[in-house]
A = this chain, B = another copy of it.
Amino acid sequence: MTLGRLNHVGVATPSIAVSIAMYRDLLGAEAIGEPFDLPAQGVKVCFIDAPNMQIELIEPYDDASPIAGFLAKNPAGGQHHLCFEVADIDAAVAELTAKGARVLGKPRIGAHGTPIVFVHPRDMGGVLIELMETHKH
């Protein structure tokens, strides 16, 4: 695989509404999507556009949310993951697995409607890496 473009930075927050206000009123974000629920993944999501990538705000959907633990450790929120695009997610998973990296589960459809998968931060220098198959046009 080749390192692809950074699609988004995942930022965990206890409140998407509060974070939207911060990015809009303090940092001048102008393109802010409508928040939506991903109950199957246990998160509420909102994308904010920067000129070359997006910020993905993620808020727990309920107490069983996979980001509940992160927010317990970081109550104010914080950087949760980096999502890089790959051309072929199955090939990327096969290559990473063959090289000994721990891929977390099988690819599933992510917030952008293309397959995504996460790689264990222990094998990624402490960074939770999401791989997302690039939209095919």
Contact = CB atoms under 8 A, between A and B. Distances in A.
Interface in A77-117: 77-79, 82, 84, 96, 99, 101
A28 B5 contact: no
A66 B118 CA distance: 30
B84 A82 contact: no
A41 interface: no
Interface string A11-28: 111000011001101111
B53 A6 contact: yes
- Could you say which interface size class chain A belongs to? 35 or more
A9 interface: yes
A1 interface: yes
B77 A22 contact: no
B127 A79 contact: yes
Contact of A121 (B48, B52, B78, B99): B78
A136 interface: no
A4 B82 contact: no
Contacts of A6: 6, 9, 50, 52-53
Query: 7 nearest interchain CB pairs?
Result: A76-B126, A78-B126, A77-B126, A79-B79, A2-B28, A3-B29, A5-B51
A82 B3 contact: no
A122 interface: yes
A128 to B, nearest CB: 8
